[in-house]
C-alpha cells in the first residue's frame, strides 16, 4: 500500500517538522513509519510505502514554491515547472490534465493544494490535527493519527445506500476523517482548509450544445492511446531483482519468482475476451516500443506483451468469451497465459487477506483476483472502469427527455422490450424517465429517506429482477442498496436522517443536477472506490495495476460523448472498435463486444453454497450486530437461504460479509502507521462497544 501524508499548521512555528518528524498537540514527536520526506517544516510532506523512484518527482522554483507528483504522470519536468508558476495564481485544472494516474501537491508559500482525480480512484482525505489540518491519500493513517473511532452512521450508509452520495457525503469509516469529492482539490492556507472544484458545472437552464459524435469518439481514442503510451514510456522494473535469494536446486529464475509470489518482469494485460481488456491489450502491444518483458529476463521475448486470461472451471457460459480471447491472443505480439481456477478461487473460498484502507465488496473475491494477477506482469493493464466511463446509465433517458430528444429513446427502449418480451415495456420506461426528469433532486432524496424510514418488511427493498426491472429501479435519484433489507430499523433510520439533513446543504441542490449525469458520476465514484480496495486486497508485491479508463483525460473525453450516442445498444463496443480502428487494429474476432452471459453471479452463488457453513459461523457473534447494524440471526437465515438457491440479492450479502471481514481485520491489527514518543495509539483504540441506541443518539445529535 502506498500513500502520501502531510499537514498544514496554523502558525509557522506550531509544528516543527524535519527528518525526525513533527511535534504534535501533546508535545510528542511523530512521523510516518517507513516514510520518505519530500519536504519539511512548517508544512511537511512524506511519501510512504514501496514507491518506485520514477513515481515520486519534486520540482522546485525556490524553497517555498514547489510541486510534488506521485504516480504515473506524462508531464515532463519542464511542464511541471511551468505548471508550478501558473498555479501561483490559483489555477487548478491544468494540474489534472496530464496523461496518467497521479496525485499532484503544490506548495506556494503557506498555501498547499492537493488535487484529487475525477473518478475517485486516487482520493484525498483530511482531518483537523494539532491546531491545523492533516491530509493524506489514505484514511487509515489519519485515523491512527487522531485515534479515531468508527463512524457507524457511515457504515450504515455503506450498506443501506452505497450509490447515493448524499448518504455518505464526505464521511469515511473513521469518525473525524473526511474525504474530498471527486473532481475537487483540498486547499490549505496556514492550517485553514477549503475544498474547491476544478471542473466546470453544466447548467440546467440551458442545454449543452450538441457534440459531434465523430469528434467525441476521436477524443476518447486520443486520450486512451496517450494513457497507454504514458505507461509504456515509463521506466521498466524487474520485480525483486535485488532480493533474489540465489540458486535453488531444481528451480530456475522463473520458478523462484513464482515461489515468492512475484510478477513477471515487463508489461502485461488482462485478456478476458471482453472489449475493454481486449482494447488495452491490443493498444499496448501495437504501440511503438517494447511492451513485453525486459530483455534478458523471463522468456526473453522482449517485444511480446503478456496477456492473462482467467478460466473459471466451476461455472459454464464463458466458452465464447474464452474463444475470443484466444483469437485475440493469436497476435504475434502477445504471449498468452491462461489461469485455470477451481473451487479454491471461488468467492468466499479464501477469506484471509490484508487490511485495506476502507471496506469494499471485493473482499470476498480478493483471492480470486490474486490468483489471476499472480501470473501477470510487473505493470499490468486492466479494463476496470470502461463500463462506468463509456456506458449510459439508465437515468440518462431522463436527460434526453429534459433536452426534448425523445426520438433517441426509441432504440434503447426497443432493446429492453425485446429482452423482456413485453409490449408494456416502452410505456413503463417512458413513464419512469418522464417522472424522473420532472422530479427535483431534493424531492428524490426526501422520497428515499421516507422509504428507508417507513421500512417494515422486505417487500420494499427487494433487488430488481431482469434488465427491465433494473432499468426502472435506476430511473430514480437514488434507491436502497441490496443489503438494506437486512439492516435493523435503527440503522435505516440513521441513514434516513442523514438523507433528510443533506437536503438542506445548498451544494447538493444547486444547478447542474441532471439526473442521468449525476447518477453516472456517482456510479463511477463507487466503482473507483471498489477498485482501490481491490488493489490493496489482491496486491502482488512489486506489481502495479493500471486502469487507463479511470485517467482524468479519458474520463473528460468520455463525458463529452453525446448522450444520444451513449444510449444506443452496444455503444461501448462500437466506441472501442472505433478506437482500435484509429490505432490501426481492424481485424477482430466474430462476436467481439457482444454481451455475454454473466458468470460472476453464478460463481458467487456457487461459492456461497460451498462456503455456507463457514459464513454462518462468521456471523455467530458478528461485529456488525455489536454495532447495531444487523441482527445476527437474520443474516444467518439469509445466508442459508441464498445457499439453498433462493433468489436473494447476492451483492447485498457480499456487502455484509465484506464489512464484517474488514471490521475483524481492523480490530485484530497490531501497530500503527506512526511512530514517535510517547508510543502512538491506533484507530478504534477501544474496539466496538455494543451500539444499541447509539445510532439513534448519533442521528439526534445531528
CA–CA distances in Å: residue 310 to residues 103, 255, 376, 654? 31, 20, 11, 21
Evaluate whether residue 202 is within a structural domain. Answer: no
Q: Which pLDDT value is given to residue 27?
A: 56
Give per-residue pLDDT as tens, 336-361: 999 998 899 999 999 999 999 999 99
**Residue 256, class by beta-carbon neighbours within 10 Å (0-12 exposed, 13-18 middle, 19+ buried)?**
middle
Q: Are 113 and 81 in contact (CB under 8 A)?
A: no
User: Can you state the angle between helices 152-160 and 489-502, rounded to 10 degrees?
Assistant: 90
Pair (551, 448) in one structural domain: yes
Phi, psi angles (nearest 5°) of residue 306: -80, 115
**The three grid cell numbers given for residue 606, joined into one nine-digit string:** 456457487
Q: Are 49 and 3 in contact (CB under 8 A)?
A: yes
Q: Which pLDDT value is given to residue 297?
A: 47
| 446 contact partners, CB below 8 Å, separation of at least 6 | 499, 500, 503
Pair (193, 232) in one structural domain: no
Pair (182, 229) in one structural domain: no
pLDDT for 679 beyond 80: no
Evaluate whether residue 563 is within a structural domain. Answer: yes
- Residue-number span of the structural domain to which 304 is assigned: 210-239+260-669
Domain containing 36 — which CATH number?
3.60.20.10
Q: Are 306 and 269 in contact (CB under 8 A)?
A: yes
d(CA 129, CA 132): 5
Q: Give a three-class secondary structure readout of 285-313.
A: HHCCCCCCCCCCCCCCCCCCEEEEEEEEC
Lowest mean pLDDT among 168-177, 444-453, 654-663, 688-697: 688-697
Pair (393, 466) in one structural domain: yes
**The three grid cell numbers given for residue 146, joined into one nine-digit string:** 487522531
**The three grid cell numbers given for residue 469, joined into one nine-digit string:** 426491472
pLDDT for 698 beyond 80: no
Pair (180, 232) in one structural domain: no
Evaluate whether residue 303 is within a structural domain. Answer: yes
* 19 pLDDT tier (thresholds 50, 70, 90): very low
Q: Which pLDDT value is given to residue 681?
A: 79
Q: What average pLDDT does range 194-201 have in this prediction?
A: 86
Q: Which pLDDT value is given to residue 700?
A: 37
Give per-residue pLDDT as tens, 128-178: 998 899 999 999 999 999 999 999 999 999 999 999 999 999 999 999 999
Evaluate whether residue 153 is within a structural domain. Answer: no
Q: Which pLDDT value is given to residue 309?
A: 94
Pair (591, 612) in one structural domain: yes
Q: What average pLDDT does range 42-47 have in this prediction?
A: 93
* DSSP-assigned letters across all residues of 19-54: TTBEE-TTS-EEEETTEEEEE-TTS-EEEES---GG
Q: Given strand 674-677, what is the order of strands in its sheet?
A: 22-23, 29-32, 674-677
Q: What average pLDDT does range 512-522 have in this prediction?
A: 87
**The three grid cell numbers given for residue 426, joined into one nine-digit string:** 416502452
| 123 contact partners, CB below 8 Å, separation of at least 6 | 116, 117, 137, 179, 180, 182, 529, 532
DSSP H helices in 484-631:
489-502, 515-537, 552-559, 563-566, 571-582, 600-610, 612-618, 623-626
Lowest mean pLDDT among 223-232, 245-254, 331-340: 245-254
* 291 pLDDT tier (thresholds 50, 70, 90): low
Evaluate whether residue 226 is within a structural domain. Answer: yes
pLDDT for 11 beyond 70: no
**The three grid cell numbers given for residue 296, joined into one nine-digit string:** 534478458
Q: Which pLDDT value is given to residue 514?
A: 86
Pair (137, 225) in one structural domain: no
Q: What average pLDDT does range 524-533 have in this prediction?
A: 96
Evaluate whether residue 159 is within a structural domain. Answer: no
Query: Could you tell me what percent of the chain has a pLDDT over 70?
Result: 85
Q: Which pLDDT value is given to residue 599?
A: 80
* 238 pLDDT tier (thresholds 50, 70, 90): confident
Q: What average pLDDT does range 661-669 have in this prediction?
A: 95
Pair (87, 230) in one structural domain: no
- Quick one: which of 51, 71, 52, 69 has its CA closest to 60? 69
Pair (186, 269) in one structural domain: no
- Quick one: which of 452, 509, 503 has its CA closest to 702? 503
- Quick one: which of 218, 127, 241, 131 has its CA closest to 175? 127
First to last CA, the chain: 34
* 539 pLDDT tier (thresholds 50, 70, 90): very high
| Number of domains comprising the chain | 2
* 296 pLDDT tier (thresholds 50, 70, 90): very low
Q: Which pLDDT value is given to residue 119?
A: 96
pTM listed for this prediction:
0.91
pLDDT for 407 beyond 60: yes
d(CA 447, CA 452): 9
pLDDT for 510 beyond 50: no
Evaluate whether residue 702 is within a structural domain. Answer: no
More confident residue, 675 or 160: 160
d(CA 109, CA 189): 9
Pair (396, 444) in one structural domain: yes
d(CA 589, CA 662): 42
**The three grid cell numbers given for residue 194, joined into one nine-digit string:** 477549503
Q: Which pLDDT value is given to residue 449?
A: 93
Give per-residue pLDDT as tens, 259-278: 556 788 888 999 988 899 99
pLDDT for 210 beyond 80: no
Evaluate whether residue 651 is within a structural domain. Answer: yes
More confident residue, 135 or 688: 135
- Quick one: which of 163, 142, 116 has its CA closest to 48? 142
Pair (233, 139) in one structural domain: no
DSSP H helices in 345-409:
366-373, 386-390, 396-402
Pair (553, 591) in one structural domain: yes
- Quick one: which of 617, 624, 660, 665 has its CA closest to 639? 617
pLDDT for 384 beyond 50: yes
Mean pLDDT (the chain) is 85
Amino acid at each position: 500500500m502506498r500513500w502520501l501524508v502531510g499537514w498544514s499548521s496554523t502558525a509557522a512555528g506550531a509544528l516543527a517538522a524535519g527528518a525526525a518528524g513533527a511535534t504534535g498537540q501533546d508535545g510528542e514527536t511523530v512521523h510516518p513509519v517507513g516514510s520518505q520526506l519530500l519536504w519539511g517544516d512548517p508544512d511537511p510532506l512524506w511519501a510512504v510505502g514501496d514507491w518506485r523512484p520514477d513515481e515520486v518527482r519534486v520540482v522546485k522554483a525556490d524553497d517555498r514554491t514547489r510541486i510534488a507528483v506521485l504516480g504515473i504522470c506524462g508531464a515532463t519536468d519542464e511542464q511541471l515547472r511551468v505548471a508550478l508558476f501558473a498555479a501561483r495564481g490559483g489555477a487548478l485544472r491544468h494540474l489534472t490534465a496530464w496523461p496518467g494516474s497521479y496525485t499532484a501537491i503544490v506548495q506556494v508559500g503557506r498555501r498547499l493544494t492537493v488535487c484529487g482525480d475525477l473518478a475517485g480512484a486516487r482520493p484525498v482525505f483530511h482531518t483537523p490535527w494539532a491546531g491545523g489540518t492533516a491530509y493524506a491519500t489514505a484514511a487509515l493513517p489519519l485515523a491512527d493519527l487522531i485515534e479515531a473511532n468508527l463512524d457507524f452512521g457511515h457504515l450504515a450508509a455503506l450498506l443501506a445506500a452505497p450509490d447515493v452520495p448524499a448518504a455518505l457525503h464526505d464521511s469515511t469509516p473513521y469518525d473525524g476523517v473526511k474525504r474530498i469529492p471527486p473532481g475537487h482539490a483540498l486547499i490549505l492556507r496556514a492550517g485553514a482548509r477549503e475544498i474547491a472544484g476544478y471542473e466546470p458545472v453544466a447548467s440546467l437552464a440551458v442545454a449543452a450544445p450538441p457534440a459531434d459524435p465523430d469528434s467525441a469518439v476521436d477524443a476518447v481514442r486520443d486520450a486512451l492511446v496517450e494513457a497507454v503510451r504514458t505507461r509504456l514510456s515509463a521506466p521498466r522494473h524487474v520485480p525483486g531483482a535485488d532480493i533474489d535469494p540465489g540458486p535453488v536446486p531444481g528451480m530456475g529464475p522463473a520458478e523462484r519468482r513464482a515461489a515468492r509470489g512475484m510478477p513477471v518482469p515487463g508489461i502485461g494485460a488482462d485478456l478476458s475476451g471482453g472489449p475493454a481488456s481486449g482494447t488495452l491489450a491490443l493498444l499496448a502491444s501495437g504501440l511503438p516500443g517494447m511492451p513485453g518483458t525486459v530483455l534478458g529476463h523471463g522468456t526473453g521475448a522482449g517485444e511480446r506483451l503478456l496477456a492473462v486470461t482467467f478460466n473459471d472451471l466451476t461455472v459454464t457460459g464463458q466458452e465464447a468469451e474464452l474463444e475470443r480471447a484466444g483469437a485475440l491472443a493469436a497476435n504475434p505480439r502477445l504471449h498468452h497465459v491462461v489461469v485455470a481456477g477451481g473451487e479454491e478461487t471461488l468467492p468466499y473460498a479464501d477469506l484471509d487477506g490484508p487490511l485495506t484502507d476502507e471496506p469494499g465488496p471485493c473482499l470476498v473475491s480478493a483471492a480470486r483476483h490474486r490468483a489471476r494477477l499472480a501470473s501477470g506482469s510487473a505493470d499490468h493493464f486492466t479494463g476496470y472502469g470502461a463500463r462506468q466511463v463509456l456506458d449510459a446509465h439508465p437515468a440518462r433517458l431522463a436527460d434526453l427527455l429534459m433536452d426534448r430528444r425523445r426520438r433517441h429513446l426509441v432504440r434503447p427502449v426497443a432493446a429492453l422490450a425485446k429482452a423482456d418480451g413485453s409490449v408494456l415495456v416502452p410505456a413503463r420506461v417512458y413513464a419512469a424517465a418522464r417522472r424522473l426528469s420532472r422530479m427535483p433532486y431534493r424531492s428524490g432524496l426526501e422520497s428515499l429517506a421516507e422509504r428507508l424510514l417507513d421500512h417494515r418488511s422486505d417487500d420494499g427493498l427487494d433487488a430488481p429482477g431482469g434488465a427491465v426491472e433494473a432499468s426502472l429501479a435506476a430511473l430514480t435519484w437514488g434507491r436502497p442498496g441490496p443489503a438494506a433489507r437486512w439492516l435493523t430499523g435503527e440503522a435505516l433510520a440513521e441513514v434516513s436522517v442523514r438523507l433528510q439533513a443533506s437536503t438542506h446543504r445548498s451544494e447538493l441542490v444547486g444547478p447542474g443536477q441532471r439526473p442521468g449525469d449525476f447518477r453516472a458520476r456517482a456510479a463511477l465514484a463507487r466503482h473507483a472506490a471498489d477498485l482501490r480496495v481491490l488493489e490493496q486486497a489482491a496486491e502482488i508485491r512489486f506489481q502495479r495495476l493500471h486502469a487507463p479508463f479511470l485517467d482524468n483525460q479519458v474520463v473528460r473525453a468520455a463525458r463529452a460523448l453525446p448522450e444520444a450516442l451513449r444510449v444506443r445498444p452496444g455503444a461501448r463496443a462500437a466506441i472501442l472498435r472505433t478506437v482500435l480502428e484509429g490505432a490501426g487494429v481492424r481485424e477482430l474476432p466474430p462476436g467481439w463486444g457482444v454481451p455475454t452471459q454473466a458468470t460472476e453471479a453464478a460463481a458467487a452463488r456457487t461459492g456461497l453454497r460451498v462456503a455456507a457453513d463457514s459464513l454462518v459461523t462468521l456471523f455467530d457473534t458478528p461485529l456488525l450486530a455489536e454495532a447495531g447494524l444487523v441482527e445476527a440471526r437474520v443474516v444467518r437465515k439469509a445466508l442459508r437461504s441464498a445457499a439453498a438457491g433462493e433468489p436473494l440479492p447476492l451483492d447485498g450479502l457480499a456487502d455484509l460479509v465484506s464489512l464484517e471481514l474488514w471490521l475483524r481485520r481492523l480490530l485484530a491489527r497490531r501497530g500503527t502507521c506512526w511512530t514517535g514518543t510517547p508510543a502512538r495509539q491506533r484507530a478504534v483504540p477501544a474496539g466496538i462497544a455494543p451500539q444499541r441506541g447509539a445510532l439513534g443518539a448519533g442521528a439526534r445529535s445531528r
